[in-house]
Amino acid sequence: MKIIETGFNGLYELEPNVFGDKRGYFFESYRREVYQELGIEDDFVQDNESFSLKGTLRGLHYQKRPYAQAKLVRVVKGKVLDIALDIRKDSPTYGKHHQVLLDADRHNMFLIPEGFAHGFVALEDSVFFYKCSNYYNKEAEGGILWNDTDLKISWGIDSPIVSEKDQVLPNFAAYNEEPVF
> Looking at the annotation, which residues are catalytic?
61, 130
CA 122 to chain CA mean position, Å: 13
Distance CA(105)–CA(116), nearest Å, equals 26
Distance CA(114)–CA(65), nearest Å, equals 9
Amino acid, single-letter form, for residue 143 = G
Task: With beta carbons less than 8 A apart as the criterion, state whether 73 and 110 touch.
Answer: yes
Task: With beta carbons less than 8 A apart as the criterion, state whether 68 and 160 touch.
Answer: no
The alpha carbon dihedral of 8, 99, 37, 61 has a sign of positive
